[in-house]
Amino acid sequence: MSYNAQSMKTVLTQQEIYGLVAGDLVRVEDELKVYTRSSIEPISEIGRYLIDAGGKRVRPALLLLTARMLGGISDSTIRLAAVMEFIHNATLVHDDVIDGSDTRRGRPSANANWGNAMTVLAGDWLYMESFAVALGERNFDVLNTLIGITQKMVEGELLQLTLVGRKDVGDKHLLDIARRKTAHLFSGCMRLPAIVADGDPDSVEKLTRIGMNLGMSFQLVDDLLDLTSTKEAMGKPVASDLKEGKVTLPVYYALEQGTAEDRRMVELVLEERDFRSVKPEDILELVERADGVKRTRVLAADFARQAIRELETFPPTPYRDAIISIPEFIINRQM
Ligand code: IPE
Ligand code: IPE
Ligand code: MG
Ligand code: MG
């Protein structure tokens, strides 16, 4: 725990945040293991492989903290936390096929091990398993939320694909993509516990907004880390977005503010789909010169601040304070 003089708040560390739901998360892991059971070997193998590799488990942690902030958890909460992590894992296996990524969570990606065809089908199965579990809740609001989130994620990935290789992408487009592919899932992690707790419509919507803002901040930082971090820290390839033909927000700022020479360098990577004539360090240098890193961090912090402001309207509990501390962890994370 530490005191942030600027915000006059007590900020919980990552360990303290996760510590509050450590027991719940153990139960979530047990659920996840059950969901990967299939008599078809590649499915159980691929599912298990990804789950066993770990990951931050930030989505189930957020869902559990929200449920506890709202009054407590039930078996249903544990299942829904596992469902959200499971859907997230399904998107990761598909995303790595789409991006042609060879590493995930510090290991060869599923597509690197099993090939694209098997990985896509296993991803489909994981999605369906998530829905089958959620169906057990017998709650149309829950199902509706999950279907909406999944459609948004697919739309986000598709929109991103339509813009591959283009340098004339607007910041509105980039934020829209981030919202669909990542923020909606985060928003669901706060919406579902509110629905299950029979929250009034206003607080359901408020929690949905808070989760959305946390998710926006999370994806913007992910885009920054692709430029500034290392493969070892992230457990997945870095300097890969631009090489894959994707302009992200920090690079957008560089295209907007940079010199003609800067723009040419970005274009070269987009054309060559590789860091051949231009090196990742060159891109980071020109992005920093255009304040792209700083501006993206400021925007990520703005989304986080909006989330915090609305969180402060809930009665103070350790769970609320833990969620209020999540932005600090999101923004300063190294992985
Ligand atoms: C990766 O999510 C995909 C994005 C939305 C950026 P995480 O960074 O939460 O990945 P894991 O679950 O910790 O591996
Ligand atoms: C993250 O997209 C959103 C998903 C739907 C997985 P990214 O392509 O940025 O995710 P990473 O960087 O591969 O984890
Ligand atoms: Mg990717
Ligand atoms: Mg990324």
Testing ligand 1's pocket by substitution, the residue of 52, 92, 180 carrying the most ligand atoms inside 8 A of its CB is 92
pLDDT single digits (tens) 3-39: 665 555 679 999 999 999 999 999 999 999 999 998 8
Residue with CA closest to ligand 1 atom 3: 92
H/E run at residue 2: strand 2-4
Q: How far is the CA of 92 from the centre of ligand 2 (A)?
A: 7
pLDDT single digits (tens) 70-101: 999 999 999 999 999 999 999 999 999 999 99
CA 128 – CA 154 distance, rounded (Å): 14
Evaluated on CA atoms 264, 270, 272, 273, the torsion sign reads: positive
Spell out the residues 6+ positions from residue 51 whose beta carbon is closer than 8 angstroms to its own: 29, 32, 33, 36, 89
- pLDDT-derived band of residue 317, with 50, 70 and 90 as boundaries? very high
Residue with CA closest to ligand 1 atom 5: 182
CA 57 – CA 78 distance, rounded (Å): 13
Residue with CA closest to ligand 2 atom 5: 181
CA 29 – CA 310 distance, rounded (Å): 30
Whether pLDDT at 192 is above 90 = yes
CB of 234 closer than 6 A to ligand 2? Answer: no
pLDDT single digits (tens) 103-162: 999 999 999 999 999 999 999 999 999 999 999 999 999 999 999 999 999 999 999 999
Atom index in ligand 2 nearest the CA of residue 95 equals 6
Q: For position 256, what pLDDT does the model report?
A: 97
Buried b (16+ CB within 10 A) or exposed e, 211-222: bbbbbbbbbbbb
Residue 260, CA distances (Å) to 263, 264, 267 in order: 5, 6, 10
The pTM of this model reads 0.97
Report the amino acid identity of residue 305.
Answer: R
Q: For position 10, what pLDDT does the model report?
A: 77
Residues with CB under 5 A from ligand 3 (ion): 95, 99
Report the amino acid identity of residue 326.
Answer: I
Which structure tokens are listed for 90? Answer: 């399904």
Q: What are phi and psi of 3, to 5 degrees?
A: -105, 125
